Structure 1
Amino acid sequence: MSHAMQSQLHLDTDSDFDDQCGNPSRISILGPSASKGELLETLKALQIHIQRLQDENKSIKEENKTLLADKPKRKRRADTQHELSAHEDTITIYAPTQDSAFLDELYHHFPESLHKVMESSYFSDLVLKSIPDARANEIKKLRGVAGDIFDLPSKYFTNTNFERATIPEIQQLLGVSSATNQIYKTFPPVLFPGLKEDGSLKTVFGNWELLARILKASLRGVTSLHDRSSGGGGAHTNSLKWSVHQITPGAIAWAAAIFLLSPDTEFSSSGLGKKSSINYKSLFYNYKKVLVSKWTTKRIVSIVANINRYVFKVAKGPAIDSAKQEDHTNAITHSNRSVMRSPKRGVVR
Structure 2
Amino acid sequence: MSQIRYAVDESSSSGPGESSSDERPGPTHSAIQGSISNPVQRQATSAAERKPHHSRHEAEGVKNAQLENQALKERLRVVEEQNKILSTNKGRRKKDDAVADDILAFEAELKEIAVLAELYDTLPQHLHYLVPMNRFSNMFSKAVCAGRASELNKLRSVAGQIFELPQRYFAISFARDTEPEIRRLLGTTGNPGELYPTLPPMLFPGNTVDPSRKTLFGNWQLIAKTLSCCLKGRTSLSNEGRRQGGAPPNAVKWGVTAVTPGAVAWAIVANIFEPLQ
TM over 0.5: yes
CA shift for structure 1 position 188: 1.6
CA shift for structure 1 position 89: 4.9
Matched-pair identity in %: 43
Higher RCO structure, 1 or 2 (CA under 8 Å, sep 6+): 1
Rounded to whole Å, the distance in 2 between the matches of 1:92 and 1:182 is 34
Q: For 1:247, which of 232, 243, 259 is the aligned residue?
A: 259
1:153 aligns with 2:166: yes
Equivalent residues of 1:194, 1:207 under 8 A apart: yes
Q: For 2:183, which of 167, 171, 176 is the aligned residue?
A: 171
1:188 aligns with 2:206: no
Equivalent residues of 1:191, 1:206 under 8 A apart: yes
Equivalent residues of 1:138, 1:218 under 8 A apart: yes
Count of aligned residue pairs for this structure pair:
179
Aligned to 2:125: 112
Rounded to whole Å, the distance in 2 between the matches of 1:148 and 1:100 is 39
Aligned to 2:144: 131
Aligned to 1:260: 274
Rounded to whole Å, the distance in 1 between the matches of 2:169 and 2:155 is 13
Q: Deviations over 1:100-140 (max 9, x none)?
A: 22212111112233222222222211111111212222211
Equivalent residues of 1:193, 1:203 under 8 A apart: yes
CA shift for structure 1 position 85: 6.4
Rounded to whole Å, the distance in 2 between the matches of 1:197 and 1:96 is 37
Amino acid in the other structure paired with 1:98: K
- Give RMSD over aligned pairs: 2.8
Change in 2 beyond 3 A, CA 1:175/1:94: farther
Rounded to whole Å, the distance in 2 between the matches of 1:243 and 1:175 is 37
Rounded to whole Å, the distance in 2 between the matches of 1:133 and 1:190 is 28
Q: Deviations over 1:260-319 (max 9, x none)?
A: 111x3xxxxxxxxxxxxxxxxxxxxxxxxxxxxxxxxxxxxxxxxxxxxxxxxxxxxxxx
1:208 aligns with 2:249: no
Larger CA deviation: 165-174 vs 97-106? 97-106
Rounded to whole Å, the distance in 2 between the matches of 1:142 and 1:171 is 19
Equivalent residues of 1:239, 1:245 under 8 A apart: yes
Structure with the bigger percentage of helix: 2
Equivalent residues of 1:211, 1:252 under 8 A apart: yes
Larger Rg: 2
User: Any stretches of 5+ residues in structure 2 without a counterpart?
Assistant: 1-93
Rounded to whole Å, the distance in 1 between the matches of 2:119 and 2:205 is 33
Q: For 1:197, which of 209, 216, 219 is the aligned residue?
A: 209
Equivalent residues of 1:107, 1:115 under 8 A apart: yes
Change in 2 beyond 3 A, CA 1:143/1:112: same
Please list, as runs of the form range in 1=range in 2, the aligned pairs for 1:1-349 lying within 5 A after superposition: 87=100, 89-91=102-104, 93-157=106-170, 159-198=171-210, 201-227=213-239, 236-257=248-269, 258-262=272-276, 264=277
Using structure 1 for the length normalisation, give the TM-score. Answer: 0.46
SS in 2 for 1:246: coil
CA shift for structure 1 position 88: 5.0
Rounded to whole Å, the distance in 2 between the matches of 1:85 and 1:165 is 45
Rounded to whole Å, the distance in 2 between the matches of 1:115 and 1:162 is 44
SS in 2 for 1:186: coil
Aligned to 1:56: none
